[in-house]
Amino acid sequence: MKVTEIKQYRVQDPKGRGGYYVIKINTDAGISGLGEVGIRGWGNAIESAIDHLGEIVIGSDPWETERLWQIMFRAGFFPADTVYSCAISAIDIALWDIKGKSVEKPVYKLLGGPVRDKVICYPHIGGATIEKLVDSAKEHWDKGWKFARWHQPPTHGDLTEPGILDPRDGIKVSVQAMEAVRTALPDIQICFDLHTRIDTTHAIQMCRELEPFKPFFVEDPIRSENAASYKKVSEKVNLPIAAGEQWGSKWGFREVIENEWIDYARIDLCIAGGITEALKITHWAETHYIDIVPHNPLGPVSAAACVQLCMASTNVGVQEMPRQPGTFATDLFPQQIEWEDGYAWAPDVPGLGVELDEDVAAANSVTDSKSFTPRLLRSDGAFTNW
């Protein structure tokens, strides 16, 4: 069996918000696989990277995922950057989908077999005010979700808009919001994402003030460029820390895992190198008793890849699942993974368990990828991370 082509689809959801950047790899055996790109806004650059990597992948045996990963990452002599790691990730996930389909097994059975029947998940909640945030949390709780996640809000204006974020005011708003959710829902597990939005000193202060509400974790309290700075945070914060969604390979995770500066590894399978690389990071984290909480703000292909990994991994904390699988993008992805009562699982079907309607994808294709995240500003007009 050999790879014959790599097709790319950048599409808008015809019946909902957002879009997806997926690829489909075809083989001469009539078996195909799906992958997903982690940074959709960099589409033009990643499209070129996938075309470039196609020179390596097309004509190769899709079963040789380790060999292909090494060549894709290293064949340019300079190690792959995040653009190329996103391209490698999508290709690698699609190859694993093909491998599973070729032997009529779900991917998790190729990763060692299931260690659990289902994977606990957390959704994204939100609201323009703290009251509406609480309402959103209650709505999800009533539907069976056991967790709730929201991120550091702005401090002036609508909490769902970019707006102005003053670090000192940000501490007050965040504490008020978490106190309100905890009071309304004493048993819900809270995942709070600081989203790298404030400086290290204020992030530490905020985490200390959030301690009474016992969140499941605080995520990305600082920026990711210098992993060694997590040493300072971990020594001064008495809350579980989750980080890693911005790291493009195992090397980004090296210091924080080896020094145990984080409690949860936020591997993004669509950025960090696909299933091949995520499996290595997961087992590495296991040796330090660090659980994975895979980053998954994307679509059904990403969700399926994450759940396949979690079903075959011992050290899993919780899986990010912004929306309930099977309730969105069903025209594009008529087959998706399963969900019930706060848990997701991959069905016992070959491959990832997701299928793409290429006709719908072609009819809803988009080419404009000149997009950046919203601009979040300090009160003095300085730019900060979104």
List, for residues 225-247, the tens digit of each pLDDT value: 999 999 999 999 999 999 999 99
- Name the one residue in this structure whose structure tokens are 């594009």: 332
- For residue 84, count CB atoms less than 10 angstroms from its CB and return exposed for 0-12, middle for 13-18, buried for 19 or more: buried
295 labelled catalytic: yes
> If we measure between CA atoms, which residue out of 163, 164, 161, 153 comes closest to residue 130?
153
Here the tokens at position 4 are: 């014959």
Q: 3-104: which CATH topology?
A: Enolase-like; domain 1 (3.30.390)
- Name the one residue in this structure whose structure tokens are 């210091």: 255
Identity of the amino acid at 321: M
SS3 labels along the chain: CCEEEEEEEEEECCCCCCEEEEEEEEECCCCEEEEECCCHHHHHHHHHHHHHHHHHHCCCCCCCHHHHHHHHHHCCCCCCCHHHHHHHHHHHHHHHHHHHHHCCCEHHHHCCCCCCCCEEEECECCCCCHHHHHHHHHHHHHCCCCEEEEECCCCECCCCCCCECCHHHHHHHHHHHHHHHHHHCCCCEEEEECCCCCCHHHHHHHHHHHHHHCCCEEECCCCCCCHHHHHHHHHHCCCCEEECCCCCCHHHHHHHHHCCCCCEECCCCCCCCHHHHHHHHHHHHHCCCCEECCCCCCCHHHHHHHHHHHHCCCCECCEECCCCCCCCCCCCCCECCEEECCEEECCCCCECCCECCHHHHHHCECCCCCCCCCCEECCCCCEECC
Identity of the amino acid at 148: A
Residue 368: per-residue pLDDT: 64
pLDDT in tens, 77-89: 999 999 999 999 9
Q: What is the C-alpha separation between 299 and 36, in angstroms, rounded?
A: 8
- Band the pLDDT of 165: cuts 50, 70, 90: confident
Residues 6+ apart with CB under 8 A from 187: none
pTM of the model: 0.96
Residue from 124, 140, 283, 295 carrying the catalytic annotation: 295
User: What is the chain's mean pLDDT, rounded?
Assistant: 95
Asked if residue 274 lies in contact with residue 96, where contact means CB atoms within 8 angstroms, the answer is yes
Residue 42: per-residue pLDDT: 86
Looking at the chain, which residues constitute the CATH 3.20.20.120 domain(s)?
Answer: 109-351
Strands 383-384 and 376-377: what pairing? antiparallel
Summarize the confidence of residues 25-51 as an average pLDDT: 95
- Name the one residue in this structure whose structure tokens are 């082509």: 5
202 labelled catalytic: no
Looking at the chain, which residues constitute the CATH 3.30.390.10 domain(s)?
Answer: 3-104
State the virtual CA torsion across 66, 69, 75, 79 in degrees, nearest 10: -120
Sign of the Cα torsion 127, 128, 129, 132 reads negative
pLDDT of 353 strictly over 80: yes
pLDDT of 8 strictly over 80: yes
Residue 282: per-residue pLDDT: 98
Residue from 52, 140, 151, 195 carrying the catalytic annotation: 195
pLDDT of 370 strictly over 80: no
Give how far the C-alpha of residue 73 lies from the chain's centroid of Cα atoms, to the nearest Å. Answer: 20
The CATH number of domain 109-351 is 3.20.20.120 = yes
Q: What is the C-alpha separation between 275 and 308, in angstroms, rounded?
A: 9
- Band the pLDDT of 3: cuts 50, 70, 90: very high
pLDDT in tens, 62-118: 999 999 999 999 999 999 999 999 999 999 999 999 999 999 999 999 999 999 999
Asked if residue 72 lies in contact with residue 95, where contact means CB atoms within 8 angstroms, the answer is no
Residues 6+ apart with CB under 8 A from 257: 265, 281, 284, 285, 288, 290
